[in-house]
Structure 1
Amino acid sequence: MRLRFLVPAMLAASLLAGCNPTYNWREHTSQEGRYKILFPAKPATFTRAVDLDGLRVEMTMTAAEVDGATFAVGAATAPDAARARAALPAMRLALLRNIGAGAEAAPAPVARDGLRVQATGAANGKPMRLHGRFEARGERFYQVIVLGPANATPPEQVDQFLSSFAPL
């Protein structure tokens, strides 16, 4: 008699456990940064001053972490569109330096005012993989990245994040 109730209860518990996905995608809209994107977990936002090859700006970063990988969007405003475009390679280079990646990661163009990058490096002695998209729209510029342990983030999750980015 007891087994008759235990089996359905265990089955229900296992089904409910399957409803807690590692990647819990949700749409995030930044009114300040003027973009929308899908994050794989609840993101947090902070702002800090950065120097991009002599261009000092306040960059707002919104990021979420899943299994040691960081999914992040950085947004900032330059004095003009030309300086916003010039900030893209500077952001790319700064990220490559952070993981000790070399020039092997040649940028691939994205539309008219953007770059993409994929690179492998190391942080704290551990192999890391960077996937990034850098884009300028007028005076605004963005970095959209996934950075984490090498081979830890499935390519379809990286693609979903990077391709979901849309400036408003």
Structure 2
Amino acid sequence: MTVVLVGCSPAYNWRDARPDGVPLRALLPCKPERADRDVPLLGPGQPAVRLHMMSCDVGETTFALGAVQLPQDGKDMQLALKQWRSASWASLKQTPKKDDLPPEGWQRTPCEIAGATISECWGGPGLNHMGRPLVAQVRWLAKGPWLVQVGVYGEALPKAAQDMYFESLRFD
């Protein structure tokens, strides 16, 4: 019943969305802005990869999706995943512990994304770009050469909207 109410809420205008060329579908609760940029996800001295991004805001909550296609059919998937996790935590002003352990307050939760060969789900605190506290729920998933990060960020995260967003994820 809750999902139905969220789906009908005037604040949410759910729509099918996918980053250009990425074999992943998602429902976003608003019209996304899109951008692409090259990022050094494979480490120093390695070529940059193209990051395809989509995001939109409903009130104080941001829904975001980013995807990269790794060279050599995802051979460097674990390295790229580790680098992306660290970069994401840094963008939230969080410092991972030694040995790639998560920052204070972050917890990994079990999850499964339809069609993904790798699914990692994390949640924890952070700070937004203005230094205000927020909560983040982040999913990293992979299939073939594609590595994807999907997240919801805000002061308070509406559970029904999070569930609808994350449960909508499907690889082709």
TM-score, structure 1 normalization: 0.78
What is the CA–CA distance in structure 2 between the aligned matches of 1:38 and 1:66, rounded to whole Å? 14
Q: Which residue of 2 aligns with 1:16?
A: none
Q: Which shows bigger deviation, 98-107 or 56-65?
A: 98-107
Please point out which of 140, 144, 150 is paired with 1:138.
144
What is the CA–CA distance in structure 1 between the aligned matches of 2:20 and 2:153, rounded to whole Å? 24
Q: What SS does the corresponding residue of 1:136 show, helix, strand or coil? A: strand
What is the Cα deviation at residue 109 of structure 1? 5.0
Q: Which residue of 2 aligns with 1:127?
A: 133
Runs of 5+ in structure 1 lacking a partner?
1-18
What is the CA–CA distance in structure 2 between the aligned matches of 1:26 and 1:91, rounded to whole Å? 27
How well do the aligned residues superpose, as a CA RMSD in angstroms?
2.0
Is 1:48–2:42 an aligned residue pair?
no
Confirm or deny: 8 A CA contact 1:39 1:161 kept in the other structure.
yes
Q: How does 1:26-45 map to 2 (within 5 A)?
A: 26-30=15-19, 32-45=21-34
Q: What SS does the corresponding residue of 1:96 show, helix, strand or coil? A: helix
* Residues matched between the structures, number: 148
Confirm or deny: 8 A CA contact 1:84 1:138 kept in the other structure.
no
What is the CA–CA distance in structure 2 between the aligned matches of 1:77 and 1:109, rounded to whole Å? 25
Confirm or deny: 8 A CA contact 2:125 2:135 kept in the other structure.
yes
Note the alpha carbon deviations across 1:60-111, whole angstroms, 9 max, x for none: 0011111122211111111132313432232222111111234231434544
What is the CA–CA distance in structure 2 between the aligned matches of 1:139 and 1:63, rounded to whole Å? 22
Note the alpha carbon deviations across 1:3-50, whole angstroms, 9 max, x for none: xxxxxxxxxxxxxxxx87111111124451111110001112110111
Runs of 4+ in structure 1 deviating by more than 6 angstroms, as ranges, are: none
What is the CA–CA distance in structure 2 between the aligned matches of 1:81 and 1:107, rounded to whole Å? 23
Q: What SS does the corresponding residue of 1:158 show, helix, strand or coil? A: helix
Runs of 5+ in structure 2 lacking a partner?
1-7, 96-102
Q: Which residue of 1 aligns with 2:171?
A: 167
Q: Which residue of 2 aligns with 1:75?
A: 67
Q: Which shows bigger deviation, 65-74 or 108-117?
A: 108-117
Q: What SS does the corresponding residue of 2:75 show, helix, strand or coil? A: helix
Structure number with larger C-alpha Rg: 1
Structure with a larger share of its residues in strand: 1
Please point out which of 120, 132, 135 is paired with 1:115.
120
TM-score, structure 2 normalization: 0.77
